[in-house]
């Protein structure tokens, strides 16, 4: 039996996108969700924000489900933000907020940062890293933005769009990992898993 068979991934996420993406690794996994305060306070760089929140999400699941987690578990936490000229955009508070974000993002480039934290239940060891992808959005009219918001798609997404959905039509091109934009940088995650002795391939 290889190490791969003996470890179990625990995805600390309520995001349907992350839950879908974790399956691509073809490793045994389960999902545990906890409530985490996503306030990081002022003065942190985007990379620090997503790394800190990813670690917090993994640690919260470890704390909350301590007694029932498998000894061989590796908890995965992740967080995604959109960054436009130094301004960090999370999920919109309401439709008005979404309109403001999309109006600011249209017709220019921004960066999507996703953090990943791996917490080894047995040892408490944590690995954290992040990935950045540049996204070039097409110019949009106010009417297009309003109609996109009316579909409901932007409301639970960082930056108020989903590249994997109808948002694909408003993205001109990207530089970097597509999955990082969707919310889980699978390639980086596989590298971190390898560092814990779990080979994906």
Ligand X SMILES: Cc1cn([C@H]2C[C@H](O)[C@@H](COP(=O)(O)OP(=O)(O)OP(=O)(O)O)O2)c(=O)[nH]c1=O
For ligand X, which is the closer residue by CB, 4 or 44? 44
Judged by the rule CB under 6 A, the positions of this chain that interact with ligand X are 13-15, 17-18, 57, 78-80, 82, 91, 112, 156-159, 161-164, 167, 181-183
For ligand X, which is the closer residue by CB, 57 or 130? 57
CA distances from residue 153 to 150, 170, 182, 199 in whole angstroms, order as listed: 8, 13, 13, 35
Query: Residue 147 Cβ, how far from ligand X at the closest point, in Å?
Result: 18
Q: Residue 185 in 3-state DSSP?
A: coil
Query: Residue 90 Cβ, how far from ligand X at the closest point, in Å?
Result: 6
Query: Residue 156 Cβ, how far from ligand X at the closest point, in Å?
Result: 6
Query: Residue 28 Cβ, how far from ligand X at the closest point, in Å?
Result: 19
Name the residue among 165, 172, 115, 177 with its Cα closest to residue 140. 172
Name the residue among 115, 96, 103 with its Cα closest to residue 18. 115
Active site residue 156: no
Q: 35, 39, 79, 156: which one is catalytic? A: 79
Cα–Cα–Cα angle for 153, 61, 41, nearest 5°?
Answer: 70
For ligand X, which is the closer residue by CB, 40 or 164? 164
Name the residue among 53, 72, 168, 185 with its Cα closest to residue 123. 72
Task: Identify the sign of the CA torsion 11, 196, 128, 191.
Answer: negative
For ligand X, which is the closer residue by CB, 6 or 93? 93
Structural contact between residues 100 and 89, judged by C-beta atoms closer than 8 angstroms = no
Q: Mind telling me the catalytic residues?
A: 79
């Amino acid at each position: 039996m290889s190490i791969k068979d003996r470890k179990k991934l625990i995805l600390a996420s309520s995001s349907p996108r992350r839950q879908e993406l974790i399956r691509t690794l073809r490793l045994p996994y389960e999902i545990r969700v906890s409530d985490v305060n996503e306030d990081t306070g002022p003065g942190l760089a985007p990379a620090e924000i997503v790394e800190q929140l990813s670690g917090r999400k993994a640690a919260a699941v470890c704390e909350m489900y301590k007694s029932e987690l498998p000894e061989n578990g590796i908890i995965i936490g992740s967080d995604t933000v959109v960054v436009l000229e130094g301004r960090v955009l999370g999920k919109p508070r309401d439709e008005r907020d979404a309109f403001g974000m999309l109006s600011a993002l249209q017709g220019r480039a921004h960066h999507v940062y996703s953090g990943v934290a791996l917490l080894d239940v047995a040892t408490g060891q944590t690995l954290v890293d992040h990935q950045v992808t540049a996204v070039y959005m097409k110019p949009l009219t106010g009417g297009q933005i309003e109609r996109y918001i009316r579909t409901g798609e932007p409301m639970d997404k960082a930056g108020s769009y989903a590249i994997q959905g109808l948002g694909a039509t408003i993205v001109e091109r990207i530089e970097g990992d597509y999955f990082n934009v969707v919310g889980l940088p699978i390639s980086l995650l596989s590298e971190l898993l390898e560092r814990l002795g779990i080979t994906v391939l």
